[in-house]
């Protein structure tokens, strides 16, 4: 009986998110109706397109893949008590490094791809290092240091794209990553690669790490109450740094995914469009997943589905892009109200308790 109840309680966040999504869609329906579109048809269609058509689901999943990694980056930080928003910058530099390593070095095929991944991860870790050191030794707030490094990353990578990594024949983008370092799509004509499976595995690994290893326990303890953790002998400083560097590593995988793992492009274009906002969206994904690794995949898919549906809105209903963006924004902000269902339940429980207190039981006062 208790196992069932425990299971039900664990599933609560899922219900919360689902409920919030339903609420968000309801509001979106109202906005659509106000703008003169048939709400039910549009929302049904959007949902169906993003998740149940071949093009939609592959796009959604491909879109979700890097978000899983950037989501994990933020999530690991939050669990360790830091607000690590540096995924944006790490994605940039690791993407640049992936292109540099993948395009400028000719290595034999079996080695090239994994090495590129290693390089991306290493660069990600290195880029996070300054923030980690500043936090551990100078108590510099990580939000600030990571945001500054994000910006520096953007300019650095912009320089790389315009000068050293520039394709001499095709200056509007970087050189293409060599075939020996490319990931091919799972289905031709899509951008979906095996990195999705890697993302799922990484989430599982993160879950195991955080919840079933001593290091993970210490990390979470550090996040929950650093003073207490320190008091019982946990090396808070080392664990904080670990959280940063793990986050950097995972975000580095995102950078790899967006270049070597992004068919059929395998490059970065001069506007860096494929890289921008990925870190930012990772924060949304993690927050929506209540910062739990097992929720990351689903959360990433939900966010990706909402964003993919913008295509549907334009293609099927001729809705202007600006309006589609607005709708997506509404849905995302409303996904921030997962507490509503719990509150309703709690309110109901309170009502019931009050009712019971006012209505004496027929058997008289029962001993408590």
Partner 1 sequence: MSRLVAAVAVLAGAAALTLLRGPTATASLALMALAAMVPIALPAIGEVVNQKGGVFNIGLEGIMLIASVAAVYAAEQGGNGLVGLGGGLVSGAAVALLFGLAVTYGRANQTIAGLGLNFFGIGAVAFLIFEIWGAPGFHRVPEALRIQPLATPAGLLRWLSVAAVLMPVLAVGLLQHTPFGLRLRAVGHNALVSDVSGIEVYRLRLAACVLGGALAGLGGAYMSLDWIGLASIDLIAGRGFVALACVVFSGLNPWRAVAAAFVFSVFNALGLWLQVEPWARPLMARGGSALFLMLPYASVLALLVASPAREAFPREIGRPYERP
Partner 2 sequence: MHRIARCVLVGIVAIALWPAPSAGAPQAPAARPISLALLMAAPGRSDLSWSFMHWLGAEQARRTGQVSDLRIVVSTPATALSDMTLVVRDGQFDLIYVASFSTYGTALRDLANRFPDRQYAISDIRPQFGDADPGNRAVLGLLYQQEQPSAMAGALAAALALHYDCPSVGIVLGREIPVLHEFEMGYKWGVDWAIRRLSETNPDVVRNKRLARAARKDRVLWTYTGAFNDPARGREATEAQVRQGACVVYQVAGATGLGVLGYMDDHHRTRNVPIGQPPFAIGVDTVQEWVSPHVVGSALKRADEAVLLAVRLVREGRFREVVQRDRSVWLNFGNRGTWFSDPQLVREWVRRAVEIGALDGSKGGEVLANYGRLREPQPRWVWQLVDDLRGLIEQGRVEIPRPFGDPQRWPIERLRETYG
Residue 291 within binding range of partner 2, rule CB under 8 A = no
Interacting partner of 284 out of partner 1, partner 2, none (Cβ under 5 to 8 A depending on kind): partner 1
Rounded to whole angstroms, the Cα distance separating 105 from 99 reads 10
Q: Which of 95, 259, 308, 338 binds partner 2 (CB under 8 A)?
A: 308
Evaluate whether 339 touches 19 at the Cβ level (below 8 Å).
no
Residue 340 within binding range of partner 1, rule CB under 8 A = yes
Residue 218 within binding range of partner 2, rule CB under 8 A = no
Evaluate whether 119 touches 101 at the Cβ level (below 8 Å).
yes
Q: Which of 97, 250, 284, 296 binds partner 1 (CB under 8 A)?
A: 284
Residue 141: CB minimum distance to partner 1, A: 5
Which is nearest to 42 in space by CA: 25, 57, 23? 25
Residue 124: CB minimum distance to partner 2, A: 20
Instruction: Give the HSE-up count for residue 54: Cα atoms under 13 Å, Cβ half-sphere.
Output: 5
Q: x/- site string to partner 1, residues 153 to 192, per CB under 8 A?
A: --xx-xx--xx-----------------------------
Rounded to whole angstroms, the Cα distance separating 166 from 63 reads 26
Rounded to whole angstroms, the Cα distance separating 70 from 249 reads 10
Residue 287 within binding range of partner 1, rule CB under 8 A = yes
Residue 273 within binding range of partner 2, rule CB under 8 A = yes
Residue 162 within binding range of partner 2, rule CB under 8 A = yes
At residue 324, the 3 state secondary structure works out as helix
Residue 334 within binding range of partner 1, rule CB under 8 A = yes
Residue 158 within binding range of partner 2, rule CB under 8 A = yes
Rounded to whole angstroms, the Cα distance separating 285 from 283 reads 5
Residue 319 within binding range of partner 1, rule CB under 8 A = no
CA-derived radius of gyration, the chain: 23
Scanning 41-49, 135-143, 183-191, 264-272 for contacts with partner 1 by CB under 8 A, the matching segment is: 135-143
**Cβ closest to partner 1, residue 77 vs residue 263:** 77
- How many CB atoms are located within 10 Å of the residue 114 CB? 10
Cβ-defined contacts of 217-225 (< 8 Å, 24+): 219/76, 219/79, 219/80, 219/243, 220/79, 220/80, 222/80, 222/81, 223/78, 223/79, 223/80, 223/81, 223/82, 224/81
Residue 339 within binding range of partner 2, rule CB under 8 A = no
Interacting partner of 12 out of partner 1, partner 2, none (Cβ under 5 to 8 A depending on kind): partner 2
Residue 29 within binding range of partner 1, rule CB under 8 A = no
Cβ-defined contacts of 237-242 (< 8 Å, 24+): 237/136, 237/137, 238/136, 239/80, 239/215, 240/80, 240/81, 240/82, 240/132, 240/135, 240/136, 241/132, 241/133, 241/135, 241/136, 242/80, 242/215
- Return the residues of window 31-50 that contact partner 2 according to CB under 8 A: 40-41, 43-49
Sites of contact with partner 1 (CB under 8 A): 130, 134, 138-141, 143-145, 147-149, 151-152, 155-156, 158-159, 162-163, 280, 283-284, 287-288, 322-323, 325-330, 332-340, 343
Q: Which residues bind partner 2 (CB under 8 A)?
A: 12, 15, 18-19, 22, 25, 40-41, 43-49, 52-53, 55-56, 58-59, 62-63, 155, 158-159, 161-163, 166, 168-173, 189-191, 262, 264-265, 267-271, 273-274, 304, 307-308, 310-312, 314-318, 320-322, 341-342, 344-345, 348
């Amino acid at each position: 009986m208790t196992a069932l109840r425990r299971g039900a309680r664990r599933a609560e966040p899922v219900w919360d998110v689902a409920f919030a999504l339903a609420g968000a869609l309801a509001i979106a329906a109202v906005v659509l109706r106000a703008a003169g579109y048939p709400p039910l048809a549009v929302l049904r269609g959007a949902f169906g397109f993003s998740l149940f058509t071949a093009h939609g689901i592959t796009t959604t999943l491909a879109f979700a893949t890097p978000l899983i990694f950037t989501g994990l980056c933020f999530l690991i930080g939050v669990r360790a008590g830091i607000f690590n928003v540096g995924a944006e910058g790490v994605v940039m530099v690791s993407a640049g490094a992936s292109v540099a390593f993948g395009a400028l070095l000719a290595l034999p095929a079996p080695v090239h791809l994994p090495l590129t991944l290693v390089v991306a991860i290493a660069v990600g870790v290195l880029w996070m290092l300054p923030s980690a050191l500043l936090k551990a030794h100078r108590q510099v707030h990580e939000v600030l240091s990571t945001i500054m490094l994000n910006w520096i990353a953007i300019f650095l990578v912009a320089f790389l794209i315009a000068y050293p990594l520039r394709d001499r024949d095709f200056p509007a983008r970087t050189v293409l990553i060599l075939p020996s370092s490319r990931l091919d799509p799972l289905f031709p004509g899509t951008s979906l690669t095996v990195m999705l499976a890697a993302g799922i595995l990484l989430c599982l690994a993160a879950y195991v790490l955080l919840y079933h290893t001593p290091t993970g326990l210490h990390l979470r303890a550090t996040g929950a109450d650093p003073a207490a953790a320190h008091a019982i002998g946990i090396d808070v400083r080392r664990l904080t740094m670990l959280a940063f560097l793990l986050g950097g590593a995972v975000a580095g995988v995102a950078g790899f995914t967006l270049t070597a793992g992004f068919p059929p492009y395998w490059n970065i274009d001069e506007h860096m469009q494929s890289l921008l906002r990925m870190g930012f969206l990772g924060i949304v994904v993690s927050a929506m997943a209540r910062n739990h690794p097992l929720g990351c995949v689903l959360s990433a898919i939900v966010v990706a589905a909402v964003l993919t549906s913008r295509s549907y809105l334009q293609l099927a209903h001729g809705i202007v892009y600006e309006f589609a963006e607005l709708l997506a924004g509404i849905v995302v902000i409303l996904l921030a109200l997962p507490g509503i269902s719990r509150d309703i339940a709690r309110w109901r429980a309170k009502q019931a308790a009050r009712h019971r207190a006012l209505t004496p039981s027929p058997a008289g006062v029962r001993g408590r």
